[in-house]
Chain A
């Protein structure tokens, strides 16, 4: 068996690949958070709950309506985004004039309600969701057996992340968005409806979370607490990447996933901790985060 730094290469590559898959989820979720934070200045604590809702909508659709995976992948983000937009219009929008911390507290409360509600209805053991037939099976890569579905997750996530980045950096709509982030009053003065833009941005961020949730459903069982376990890690990713930075959140998401995978080879017990360690170090050296612009 070949070894690299005393570690069998097969195990190393395997873990790195798995890290990349986890990183795909970190990237999608932190991207949504970054978008929302950039425009609304709100840390969306219910992001994890909305990710979970995406998975549940897929499961409910399959169980009660027979809607398959592809339908769920297309519709669940829309449904959950609509729900998010209702929350934004009825509750979040009342808080924009107040300290931004209230937004954090409100979404925290919403996360508790949503998760509690699903726990009450469906327990915590998790619902199975089968891998779609088209993506079943796997490839033997020599160093590991890669389930096709997991490769698909990385692919879908990359497409989505790059697409979002292009949308914001290269289109007119993206330009408005960036301008509104810098100076909403001025953009409003140019005749652009900023409140609608804010609402749609929130909806889009939530849709990203729900999309990630559908992708996650076949890998992790559909579980009311699947989001709350993940959200804190994603927060750390956002802090490391630099809050509000689109590219930062994508790159950091994938990077930290890989780092976590690496840690699992060297010192598995620390895998859950390593991201937070990186966060402390980054904060000490570059307080604004790796890709952040100033404090």
Chain B
């Protein structure tokens, strides 16, 4: 749905990969130092939503399908991880993987139902399926309805590192985020990713070239669902809580907002958008429904005048200097 294309790995390589490395390295240093200056729980929340938005962006930016139901993966994996960590006493890494795989499984089912449709139809179907999953979350006894699963233990990573220490938790979340984004980067720049983009830009041509379009879309959807789930799982450990808010369709809307604001189809855009939205929520938390109004306003401005998003605006500038945003 966005007209701008992403540089191929070859093009990026020819104009100097070192600059890209420096740019990413700088970001990493910033991320490593950040918790000494900024409240770490806020940073972790941002990282979780950044991963969620990046995973969502795989569908919107690289397949061109707008899912309005991604909260079901985010929220449900949070429940599963929270339940596994609290009731079954699993270690955090196993609980997170379990949540991720369940989200991917759910993604397979939802994708199978929805993937044959396009555009608005796809958005509506994912939305309605997410609402179905919301009701299941409301009714299932283990989710504890409006109360959510509270007091989830963060546990010891690999049975060794105590995650109840905020700094340990932060670096763990950062590591998960970096690994997941690297994985997404690989996916997007693999031959598989090239086919996805070909489908996005011209589906009939991709079909006539002999690609099994639905299969490609489905795999992308499963990856996107799984990584959204991973973000939800990590969030449930950060806040030690899994609740209905994360399965609600407002969460689905929020991730669209983050991606749109940051820049659809860019690697760093969703993360930038996520941090901006989380900051707004943080800043206006005491101001009642102003958060909703501001979010709505950003939506309108982005759609009308700012469709490339924050990173999208800077992308051409950075690209000239050999950096892929």
Residues A273 and B66 in contact in the complex (CB < 8 Å), given A110-B300, A116-B290? no
- Is the beta-carbon distance between B113 and A284 smaller than 8 angstroms? yes
Q: Is the interface of B mostly helix, strand, loop or mixed?
A: helix
Is the CB of B185 closer than 8 A to any CB of chain A? no
Q: Is the interface of A mostly helix, strand, loop or mixed?
A: helix
Question: Within the assembled complex, what's the spacing in Å between the Cα atoms of A273 and B139?
Answer: 10
- Is the beta-carbon distance between B288 and A108 smaller than 8 angstroms? no
A106's nearest neighbour on chain B, judged by CB, is B303
Is the CB of B297 closer than 8 A to any CB of chain A? yes
Question: Within the assembled complex, what's the spacing in Å between the Cα atoms of A272 and B137?
Answer: 12
Residues A273 and B132 in contact in the complex (CB < 8 Å), given A95-B303, A239-B124, A287-B117? yes
- Is the beta-carbon distance between A105 and B303 smaller than 8 angstroms? yes
Question: Within the assembled complex, what's the spacing in Å between the Cα atoms of A114 and B289?
Answer: 11
Question: Within the assembled complex, what's the spacing in Å between the Cα atoms of A291 and B288?
Answer: 43
- Is the beta-carbon distance between B290 and A120 smaller than 8 angstroms? yes
- Is the beta-carbon distance between A106 and B293 smaller than 8 angstroms? no
Cβ contact of B135, chosen from A102, A110, A276, A287, cutoff 8 A? A276
- Is the beta-carbon distance between A115 and B292 smaller than 8 angstroms? yes
Is the CB of B127 closer than 8 A to any CB of chain A? yes
Question: Within the assembled complex, what's the spacing in Å between the Cα atoms of A95 and B1?
Answer: 13
- Is the beta-carbon distance between B288 and A43 smaller than 8 angstroms? no
- Is the beta-carbon distance between A120 and B288 smaller than 8 angstroms? yes
Question: Within the assembled complex, what's the spacing in Å between the Cα atoms of A152 and B296?
Answer: 36
Is the CB of B166 closer than 8 A to any CB of chain A? no
Number of A-B contacts (CB under 8 A): 126
Is the CB of A113 closer than 8 A to any CB of chain B? yes
- Is the beta-carbon distance between A113 and B125 smaller than 8 angstroms? no
- Is the beta-carbon distance between B128 and A112 smaller than 8 angstroms? no
Question: Within the assembled complex, what's the spacing in Å between the Cα atoms of A108 and B135?
Answer: 22
* Chain B residues, Cβ within 8 Å of A283: 113, 125
- Is the beta-carbon distance between B300 and A113 smaller than 8 angstroms? yes
Question: Within the assembled complex, what's the spacing in Å between the Cα atoms of A211 and B290?
Answer: 28
- Is the beta-carbon distance between A120 and B117 smaller than 8 angstroms? no
Cβ contact of A99, chosen from B119, B253, B290, cutoff 8 A? B119
* Chain B residues, Cβ within 8 Å of A114: 296
- Is the beta-carbon distance between B307 and A102 smaller than 8 angstroms? yes
- The size of the chain A interface, using a CB distance under 8 A, is 44
- Is the beta-carbon distance between B293 and A94 smaller than 8 angstroms? no
Per-residue CB contact flags for chain A residues 227-247 toward chain B (1 = under 8 Å, else 0) read: 000001001101100010000
* Chain B residues, Cβ within 8 Å of A99: 1, 119
Per-residue CB contact flags for chain A residues 270-295 toward chain B (1 = under 8 Å, else 0) read: 10110011011001100100000001
- Is the beta-carbon distance between B135 and A272 smaller than 8 angstroms? yes
Is the CB of A100 closer than 8 A to any CB of chain B? yes
**Chain A nearest Cβ from B234, distance in angstroms:** 27
B2's nearest neighbour on chain A, judged by CB, is A99
* Chain A residues, Cβ within 8 Å of B302: 105, 109
**Chain A nearest Cβ from B132, distance in angstroms:** 4
Question: Within the assembled complex, what's the spacing in Å between the Cα atoms of A79 and B124?
Answer: 29
Question: Within the assembled complex, what's the spacing in Å between the Cα atoms of A295 and B296?
Answer: 31
Residues A112 and B299 in contact in the complex (CB < 8 Å), given A101-B66, A273-B136? yes
Is the CB of B279 closer than 8 A to any CB of chain A? no
A113's nearest neighbour on chain B, judged by CB, is B296
Question: Within the assembled complex, what's the spacing in Å between the Cα atoms of A223 and B66?
Answer: 30
B133's nearest neighbour on chain A, judged by CB, is A276
Is the CB of A134 closer than 8 A to any CB of chain B? no
Q: List 21 A-B contacts (CB under 8 A).
A: A43-B123, A94-B304, A101-B119, A109-B297, A109-B298, A109-B299, A109-B302, A112-B253, A112-B296, A113-B297, A115-B289, A116-B293, A119-B288, A119-B292, A232-B127, A232-B128, A232-B249, A272-B138, A277-B132, A283-B113, A295-B117
Contacts from B to A (Cβ < 8 Å): 1, 66, 68, 113, 116-117, 119-121, 123-125, 127-129, 131-132, 135-136, 138-139, 249, 253, 256, 260, 288-293, 295-300, 302-304, 307
